[in-house]
Amino acid sequence: MFFVEGVITSVIDDTIAIVSKGKYVHTAIEILGGTLESLGCVIRDENGQDIPPGVRLSALGKYDGRDDVLVKIVDVPNVVAAEETARNLIDIPYGWIDCAEGGIHDQTGAALPDDGILTANCSKTVALVLRAGEVTIDGDVPAGNITPMDLLNELGGE
């Protein structure tokens, strides 16, 4: 599992870091032979086609060797269920509202209802996969309320 530090020049990354009280603003997980993550920006594939924001299976090793990435090893008791959830999340649109819900939850403690799997930001994606794999993540807090720092803290911190 990966935790990525924010980019100094990004207003979005700065906001996430301030609201969630930590330097990690993105998270992803190795599963299905790749790196599952939800990206909030358009990316261009190898054929030059734009892919809209959302959950993607990026290349395995995408974050290898980067100084701005913390790697955490997580024991997933039910890998089959985690992989099934990961497959079901691919191509789900990016969850901009999840970002706001996570910030509100971190600032106030209020658990806001999320939209199930209609959309997913990075931390919701990872939380849903880990929960499906029987890893306890933030109790009954809706997955859309979870931030990268919440995940890191649930998994024992740095």
- Report pLDDT digits (tens) over 84-110: 999 999 999 999 889 889 988 988 999
pLDDT at 74: 96
Q: In sequence order, what are the residues at sequence separation of 6 or more whose Cβ sits closer than 8 angstroms to the Cβ of residue 137?
A: 127, 130, 131, 143, 146, 151, 154
Residue found under tokens 């993105």: 26
**pLDDT at position 138, please?**
83
Q: Facing residues of 24 across strands?
A: 5
Does domain 2-154 fall under CATH 3.90.1720? My reply is: yes
Computed over every residue of the chain, the mean pLDDT equals 89
At 15 the pLDDT is: 65
Task: Name the token pair of 127.
Answer: 């939380």
Distance CA 45, CA 14 (A): 27
Tell me the backbone φ, ψ of residue 113, rounded to 5 degrees.
Answer: -65, 140
Q: What are phi and psi of 2, to 5 degrees?
A: -120, 140
At residue 84, φ and ψ (nearest 5 deg) are: -65, -45
Position 1 scores a pLDDT of 94
Please tell me the distance from the alpha carbon of residue 80 to that of residue 102, in angstroms, as a whole number.
28
Q: Which residues contact 157 (CB under 8 A, 6 or more apart)?
A: none
